[in-house]
Amino acid sequence: MYLGIDLGTGSVKALLIDDDGRTVAEASQAYAVSSPVPGHAETAPADWWAGTVAAVRACCAGRGAAVRGIGLSGQAHGLVVLDDAEKPLRPAILWADQRATAEMDAVLALPEAVRRPLANPVVSGMAGLSLLWLRHNEPATYAAIRRILSPKDWLRLVLTGEVATEPSDASMTLLYEIDGDRWATDFLNALSLDPAVLAPVVESQSVAGRLTTAAAAELGLPAGTPVAAGLSDTASCLFGMGQTRPGSTILQVGSGIQIMSVVESIEPRVQPFYNSYRGIGRSLYSMAALQNGGTVFEWARTVLGASWAEMYRAGFDENEGNGGIVFLPYAAGERAPLLDPNAAAAWAYMRLGCTRGQLIRSVFEGVALAVRDSWDAMRGVGVSADRILLTGGGSTDPRWRQLLADILQMPLVPAHELGNATIGAAYLGGIAAGHWQGVEDIPFPDQLGETVEPRPFKGLDELLALFRATYRGLKQA
């Protein structure tokens, strides 16, 4: 059997598959994201490890000895900084972090020839900018840094004692030339960043180490088990769903929201609204990344004092509508398509008599409208699809799926599993163990849920125009 571990933002997931690629068991363990200062987002790496131990032991209970290979996936952009003993110097800075706004300005001031090979927008929360923030704001910590890693690469270090990264996570650091497929030497030199802190890049499906005796004892797995280098969560999601050919398009709804499309090639641009990354086998995909998915639902739910059952009941079953209220879901700033770290959440056009139920309905609509805004922008740069595969833990409710289809005006096809990034990681474990020789040998499941066809949505064009105008008006205020 083969184990996949997905180190997410709010939880770690473990999934066990057999020789035929069928799921045998799965488990998850939650942990907290800390915000010690408004706009900051951090997690202590020790919490990741404790969660991983709990999730793996629960998933592999009574089966640990049968695990022959391990694969990894994980949240992207995060920064773990290590000292010369390879121990974390501070909590990890996560993708949702908004502290590095001054560093954004410094990078945007660089010549376009230096920035263009990055082929990605300069946005706060990416590892390169977080590293610059540490240099400016925590100089003692910065001076002690001997290595930087992404979250899942840190987890592999704990598992194997080996330091490495792979193209998908490297391409998400803002320190990597996407088209050239290498660390961005000119960019690093322009910012006086030491390339020695960067990990060596190995292939995603390669064996990047073996389970140490100490890690094996904690996890209840055999020592020496091969561990694949792994993939970032979005790349692993594409891979886990068998979507490796150009033209494949996925909408992933989780803590954040991603629209991903596999492409033949990219044309590096300066400050595009979308991201371009490496995937399995050094393939390429374009992605519109929205910061505000499950995180903003949870925030709004807490602010309104509603349980999840109340959210869905008020949002859909009681059918009050939005009462003319527009909700901007930008509680964590926003990336695609706004590239605005200062964007903020807002309820607009409330009047006497508006109800809690209407506020809740507007939250669902606001998040769906933000997805539509990004999808329209992606189509504007040549991305097209006749259907979109839908995945992620935030896409399970059929009422929410229908609203997404209605506002996108696109058929949505629910994916065969919810944990696709974790399945992708498990497949990599099978390759690491030698059970499958490569991607072409994997028996990707082809069962999909029933297509959610879009229905007419009265006043959609007007609502979308008002949604966009509300953001513009508040930005100018």
**399: CATH:** 3.30.420.40
416 pLDDT tier (thresholds 50, 70, 90): low
194 located within any domain: yes
**17 or 385, which is more confident:** 17
Asked if residue 429 belongs to a domain, the reply is: no
- Which are the contacts of 312, defined by CB distance < 8 A and separation ≥ 6? 397, 399, 400
In a domain, 142, yes or no: yes
Q: How many whole angstroms separate alpha carbon 364 and alpha carbon 216?
A: 43
For 155-188, what is each residue's pLDDT tens digit?
A: 999 999 999 999 999 999 999 999 999 999 999 9
Phi, psi (5° rounding) for residue 377?
-65, -40
213 and 276 co-located in one domain: no
Please tell me the predicted confidence (pLDDT) of residue 386: 87
Cβ proximity of 128 and 77 under 8 Å: no
228/271 same-domain check: no
Q: Are residues 256 and 211 in the same domain?
A: no
- Which uninterrupted H or E stretch holds 48? helix 45-59
Note whether 318 and 366 are same-domain residues: yes
Q: Is the pLDDT of residue 81 over 60?
A: yes
Collect contacts of 300-308 with beta carbons under 8 A, ≥24 apart: 300/327, 300/329, 300/331, 300/345, 300/360, 300/363, 304/356, 304/359, 304/360, 306/356, 306/360
Instruction: For 241-253, write each residue's pLDDT tens digit.
Output: 888 888 889 998 9
Token reading at 156:
């592999």
Indicate the number of domains in the chain.
2
Whether the bond between 341 and the residue before it is cis, its omega within 30 degrees of 0, is no
The answer to whether residues 137 and 37 belong to one domain is yes
Neighbours of 309 (CB within 10 A): 8
CA distance 453 to 86: 51
The per-residue pLDDT for 247 is: 83
Half-sphere exposure of 301 (CA within 13 A, CB side): 17
The angle, 0 to 180 degrees and rounded to 10, between the axes of the packed helices 398-408 and 356-380 is 50
Q: Based on the fold, state whether residues 17 and 121 are members of the same structural domain.
A: yes
pLDDT for 387-397, tens place per residue? 999 988 788 89
Q: Is residue 390 part of a domain?
A: yes
Query: Is there a domain that residue 147 lies in?
Result: yes
The answer to whether residue 102 is domain-embedded is yes
DSSP code, position 326: E
- Residue 448 to residue 427: CA distance in whole angstroms: 19
Q: Containing domain of residue 255, as a range?
A: 243-415+447-477
Determine whether 93 is exposed, middle or buried from the number of CB atoms within 10 Å of its CB (0-12, 13-18, 19+): buried
Reduced 3-state DSSP string for 75-134: CCCCEEEECCCCCECCCEECCCCCCCHHHHHHHHCCCHHHHHHHCCCCCCCCHHHHHHHH
**pLDDT single digits (tens) 425-450:** 999 999 999 999 999 999 988 778 89
- What pLDDT is stored for residue 48 in this prediction? 98
Tokens of 274: 């979308």
Report yes or no: 252 and 261 within 8 Å, Cβ to Cβ: no
Q: Are 146 and 15 part of one and the same domain? A: yes
Q: Answer positive or negative: Cα dihedral of 303, 309, 311, 314.
A: negative
**Average pLDDT score over the chain:** 95
Q: What is the pLDDT of residues 310-369, one digit of tens each?
A: 999 999 999 899 999 999 999 988 989 998 878 999 999 999 999 999 999 999 999 999
User: Which pLDDT score, from 0 to 100, does residue 66 have?
Assistant: 98
Question: Which single residue is written with the structure tokens 């409330």?
Answer: 350
pLDDT at 245: 86
**Same domain as 296, residue 219:** no
pLDDT class of 415 with cuts at 50, 70, 90: confident
The answer to whether 216 touches 223, Cβ cutoff 8 Å, is: yes
Looking at 234, 251, 273, the residue that finishes a domain is 234
Percent above pLDDT 70 for the chain: 99
Average pLDDT over residues 82-88: 98
* Residues 84 and 214 grouped into a single domain: yes
Domain assignment present for residue 280? The answer is yes
pTM of the model: 0.85
Asked if residue 184 and residue 110 are part of one domain, the reply reads yes
pLDDT at 69: 98
Of 208, 234, 260, at which residue does a domain stop? 234
Distance in Å from the first CA to the final CA of the chain: 58
* pLDDT category of residue 98 using cuts at 50, 70 and 90: confident
314-347: b or e for each residue (b if 16 or more CB lie within 10 Å)?
A: bbbeeebebbebbbbbbbbbbbbbbbebebebeb
How far does CA 198 lie from the centroid of its chain?
A: 21
Give the tokens for residue 447: 């069962």
- My answer on whether 220 and 359 are in the same domain is no
95: region left, alpha or beta (phi > 0 left; psi from -120 to 50 alpha)? alpha
Residue 419: predicted pLDDT: 55
Same domain, 179 and 259: no
Residue 418 has pLDDT above 60, yes or no: no
From 234, 253, 269, give the residue that closes a domain: 234
Residue keyed to tokens 């996108």: 408
Quick check: 52 pLDDT over 60? yes
**264 found inside a domain:** yes
Min mean pLDDT across 72-86, 301-315, 439-453 is at 439-453
Average pLDDT over residues 68-96: 97
